[in-house]
Amino acid sequence: MSRTPIIAGNWKMHKSPKVAVAFVQELASMIQPYDKVERVVAPTFLALGSVAAALEGAALKVASQDAHWEESGAYTSQVSAAMLQPLVDYVIIGHSECRAFLNETDENVNKKAHAILACGLQAIIAVGESLEQNEAGETVEFVRSQVSAALEGISAEDMRRVVIAYEPIWAIGTGRSASGEQADEIIKSAVRDTVRALYDDAVADALRIQYGGSVKPGNMEEFMSQPNIDGALVGGASLQADDFAALIEIASRVKGM
Ligand code: 13P
């Protein structure tokens, strides 16, 4: 089963609209040869409109870093999936920073997934365990529960528009990453096999799963060489055009694109 690799840059709270537009214009020309790899950038809400306009028909897709599940309403600070629909291809939900700072719960992640898919968008659902859970040997059980909760009620048909990102919290922004083999093992047993049990072989084998957490050009090959890892969700290294382009080049080469 061949899955299209997907490398997404989660810019978090970085890059003003002006800086973001200049960045994607530079990056788009650098990554031109690697068009078999799906490339995505996730600017802040503020920069989404200008980045989407600058990229029209170009080599990069745009993601939002979150979306509310209601279409509109009294939800101060929020932006709905329906409002994002004309601007983005993907919405990232369930990021551990949102779980930690914004009280993102499994239940809300599931509501957001339904809203995103109902709008015709694609979802990148982030899951991952804390250091304490990892050290207590609870990783597989915990990640399985996050995956099952996020996907509740999502049809097999809609699963074609879902990507899952496994990001161990202890590896995010710390410079400390899981080894390729460790990450592949968790991704297989806690993500792909959970989806296999919830759906079937076809859905599980088609599902694209990213690794995230201190991915950089120096360790990208190790992750991309793993059979169950189909791409990366990248924070820090996606903020530098050279590094981000190098990640995309490595994914293209290692995955034989
Ligand atoms: P870093 O690549 O900076 O560790 O961040 C990972 C991440 O949180 C991507 O969503």
Query: What tens digit of pLDDT does each residue of 77-123 get?
Result: 999 999 999 999 999 999 999 999 999 999 999 999 999 999 999 99
- Give me the number of domains the chain comprises: 1
Give the mean pLDDT of the chain: 96
pLDDT of 149: 98
CB 94 less than 6 A from any atom of ligand 1: no
Q: What percent of the chain has pLDDT over 70?
A: 99
Please, what's the largest Cα pairwise distance for the chain?
48
Residue 15 has pLDDT above 90, yes or no: yes
Q: Each residue of 182-197: pLDDT tens digit?
A: 999 999 999 999 999 9
Token reading at 213: 């957490």
Residue 180 placed within a domain: yes
Residue 43 placed within a domain: yes
Residue 188 placed within a domain: yes
Residue 81 placed within a domain: yes
Residue 136 placed within a domain: yes
Residue 221 placed within a domain: yes
Residue 1 has pLDDT above 70, yes or no: no
Residue 1 placed within a domain: no
Residue 218 has pLDDT above 90, yes or no: yes
Q: Is 135 a catalytic residue?
A: no
Q: What is the DSSP string of 24-50?
A: HHHHHHHTGGGTTSEEEEE--HHHHHH
**How many separate helices (H) and strands (E) can be counted in the chain?**
12, 8
- Residue 21 has a CB neighbour count (10 Å cut-off) of 18
pLDDT of 87: 96
Residue whose CA is closest, atom 1 of ligand 1? 235
pLDDT of 164: 98
Residue whose CA is closest, atom 2 of ligand 1? 235
CATH number for 74: 3.20.20.70
Which residues constitute the domain of residue 163? 6-254
Closest CA to 38 of 60, 55, 57: 60
CB 176 less than 6 A from any atom of ligand 1: no
Q: Among 6, 97, 98, 167, which residue has the most ligand 1 atoms within 8 Å of its CB, making it the best to mutate?
A: 167
Residue 125's pLDDT band (cuts 50, 70, 90) = very high
Residue 166 placed within a domain: yes
Task: State how far the Cα of 178 lies from the Cα of 243, in Å rounded to an integer.
Answer: 19
CB 214 less than 6 A from any atom of ligand 1: yes
